[in-house]
């Protein structure tokens, strides 16, 4: 593979954009080398500026559940564009997508659309604070809820990849209201709740974590959080930005039969356009302006192009009875193939998988929280990443990320991927 044009484009970008990128993980800092500049994508493949083709396991970090340039989404956006790109007035399509989302997701009456996952989580926390009249929140080390101030405390994803899980610029005042717990450790959460009686507005969690690699909750963990929240009048917020409309049509609430009080969405819900959303029962959502006192707004929120993409996406997911089964089968096939290839070559690894999320850690122990995720061998990961890239397989450029399996992947693509893993494993 040649990356000459990407290299030249990266050089030019660095002159005018900090680090050459508009979101840090794209810069490949954790793995070294030149970031690939995308030119186009279709189905399971992304094509770069040098004309290389990659089987894509990032899929725009999640949105492309049904593949790149998915025709119903593209057609919907093209048609909508001809009618004007933004009005700042209510539109019929906002109600249409809201009705569909509310019908698919358990336990919500109303949903508000915003422009990113960050905005969704930030607004959910404000709503929880306004509703409970309390200030503190509990988050989990290694979970990422976007880049708003309250969440850049032991954050996962790019924040940890870049060694700044606690970002400068977040004031001490803000940081002191964010309490940190260990993922999958209910006793730890109980201790925090006991020590901060009547002060905690919300516990926010990725109900399946995807920002320290993929880490599913252990049995009883989410149920335990639900009971703890009920006992102490704390709101439970599920950040389903990654998992929503992906792990089940109704997200983790449906998959694991645990109700959240507020749910955050992003990624899939926008079909690849900038969309986020948060949702809850009427009792909570009616606290939002203009009905209630908690303020939240957006010039481009509910943008018609974004809603058209999201609606086409949700309709396709809703209408496809076998989608989740197919996705899970493909992910399992990939898991088993990679495990065999790594075993054959005596590589130490842990693969975590649930539904269409999977990640490979070069770690000896089970990866169940941030500390165990951090024990993975980063040098091995780097070699693995570049080996995959040079063989035309594009995985996330950091071990603290999940791979996103798309329905567009064929079994031939999966076999090609497994063959690449086998080839690389010999050299690790
Ligand atoms: N929450 C989760 C669980 C995420 O994975 C992300 C982004 N990866 C966000 C929130 C933030 O979303 P965005 O990047 O759209 O602001």
**Element containing residue 327 per DSSP (H, E):** helix 323-344
| Per-residue model confidence (pLDDT) at position 163 | 66
| Per-residue model confidence (pLDDT) at position 215 | 98
Distance CA 426, CA 428 (A): 6
| 197 carries an active-site annotation | no
What angle, 0 to 180 degrees and rounded to 10, lies between the N-to-C axes of helices 378-390 and 411-425? Answer: 130
Its sign, for the CA torsion 170, 172, 174, 179, is: positive
345 has which bridge partners? Answer: none
Confirm whether 4-69+321-425 and 71-319 share one CATH topology.
no
Instruction: Assign domain 71-319 one CATH number from 3.40.50.2000, 3.40.640.10, 3.30.559.10, 1.20.1260.10.
Output: 3.40.640.10
- DSSP conformational letter for 85: S
Is the CB of residue 242 less than 8 Å from the CB of residue 63? no
pLDDT digit string, tens, across residues 107-140: 999 999 999 999 999 999 999 999 999 999 999 9
CA angle 163, 169, 170 (to 5 degrees): 90
Tell me how far the alpha carbon of residue 191 lies from the centroid of ligand 1, in angstroms.
Answer: 28
What is the residue extent of each domain of the chain?
4-69+321-425, 71-319
| 239 carries an active-site annotation | yes
Complex ipTM: 0.99
Does residue 140 have its Cβ closer than 6 Å to ligand 1?
no
Q: Which of 62, 119, 142, 145 to mutate to test the pocket of ligand 1 (most atoms within 8 A of CB)?
A: 145
Q: Give the chain's residues under pLDDT 70.
A: 163-164
Which pair of tokens denotes residue 26?
Answer: 């794209």
Closest CA to 154 of 140, 167, 143, 165: 165
Tell me how far the alpha carbon of residue 344 lies from the centroid of ligand 1, in angstroms.
Answer: 36
CATH topology of domain 4-69+321-425: 3.90.1150
Closest CA to 65 of 38, 44, 80: 44
Q: Which of 121, 151, 274, 300 to mutate to test the pocket of ligand 1 (most atoms within 8 A of CB)?
A: 121
| 144 carries an active-site annotation | yes
Is the CB of residue 413 less than 8 Å from the CB of residue 60? no
Q: Which of 60, 113, 117 to mutate to test the pocket of ligand 1 (most atoms within 8 A of CB)?
A: 117
CA angle 245, 369, 174 (to 5 degrees): 80
- Long-range interactions of 83-88: CB distance < 8 A, separation 24+: 83/304, 84/304, 85/303, 85/304, 85/305, 86/300, 86/303, 86/304, 86/305, 87/304, 88/299
Per-residue H/E/C for 69-101: CCHHHHHHHHHHHCCCCCCCCCCHHHHHHHHHH
Residue nearest to atom 10 of ligand 1 (CA): 145
Ligand 1 nearest-atom number relative to CA 211: 5
Which pair of tokens denotes residue 332?
Answer: 């399992």
Tell me how far the alpha carbon of residue 401 lies from the centroid of ligand 1, in angstroms.
Answer: 12
Does residue 144 have its Cβ closer than 6 Å to ligand 1?
yes
């Amino acid at each position: 593979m040649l990356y000459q044009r990407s290299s030249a484009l990266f050089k030019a970008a660095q002159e005018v954009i900090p680090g050459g990128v508009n979101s840090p993980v794209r810069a490949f800092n954790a793995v070294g080398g030149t970031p690939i500049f995308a030119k186009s994508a279709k189905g399971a493949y992304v094509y770069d500026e040098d004309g290389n083709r990659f089987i894509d396991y990032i899929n725009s970090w999640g949105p492309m559940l049904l593949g790149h340039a998915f025709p119903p989404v593209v057609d919907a956006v093209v048609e909508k564009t001809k009618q004007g790109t933004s009005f700042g007035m209510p539109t019929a399509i906002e109600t249409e997508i809201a009705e569909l989302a509310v019908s698919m997701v358990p336990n919500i009456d109303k949903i508000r659309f915003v422009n990113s996952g960050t905005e969704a989580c930030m607004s959910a926390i404000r709503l929880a604070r306004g509703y409970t009249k309390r200030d503190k929140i509990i988050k989990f080390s290694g979970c990422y809820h976007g880049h708003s101030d309250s969440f850049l405390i032991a954050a996962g994803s790019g924040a940890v990849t870049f060694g700044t899980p606690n970002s400068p610029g977040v004031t001490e005042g803000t940081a002191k209201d964010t309490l940190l717990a260990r993922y999958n450790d209910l006793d730890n959460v109980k201790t925090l709740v006991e020590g901060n009686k009547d002060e905690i507005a919300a516990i926010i969690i990725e109900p399946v974590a995807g920002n320290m690699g993929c880490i599913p909750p252990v049995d009883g963990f989410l149920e335990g959080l639900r009971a703890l929240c009920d006992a102490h009048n704390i709101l439970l917020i599920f950040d389903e930005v990654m998992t929503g409309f992906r792990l089940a049509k109704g997200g983790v609430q449906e998959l694991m039969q645990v109700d959240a009080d507020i749910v955050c969405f992003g990624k899939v819900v926008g079909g690849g356009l900038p969309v986020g959303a948060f949702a809850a029962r009427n009792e909570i959502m009616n606290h939002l302006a203009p009905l209630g006192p908690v303020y939240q707004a957006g010039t481009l929120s509910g943008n018609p192009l974004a809603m058209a993409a999201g609606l086409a996406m949700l309709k396709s997911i809703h209408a496809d009875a076998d989608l989740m089964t197919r996705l899970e089968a493909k992910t399992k096939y990939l898991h088993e193939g990679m495990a065999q290839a790594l075993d054959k070559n005596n590589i130490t690894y842990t693969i975590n998988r649930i539904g269409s999320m999977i990640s490979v850690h070069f770690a000896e122990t089970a990866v169940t929280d941030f500390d165990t995720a951090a024990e993975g061998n980063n040098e091995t990961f780097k070699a693995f990443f570049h080996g995959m890239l040079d063989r035309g397989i594009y995985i996330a450029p950091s071990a603290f990320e999940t791979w996103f399996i798309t329905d567009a992947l064929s079994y031939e693509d999966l076999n090609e991927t497994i063959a690449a893993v086998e080839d690389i494993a010999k050299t690790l």
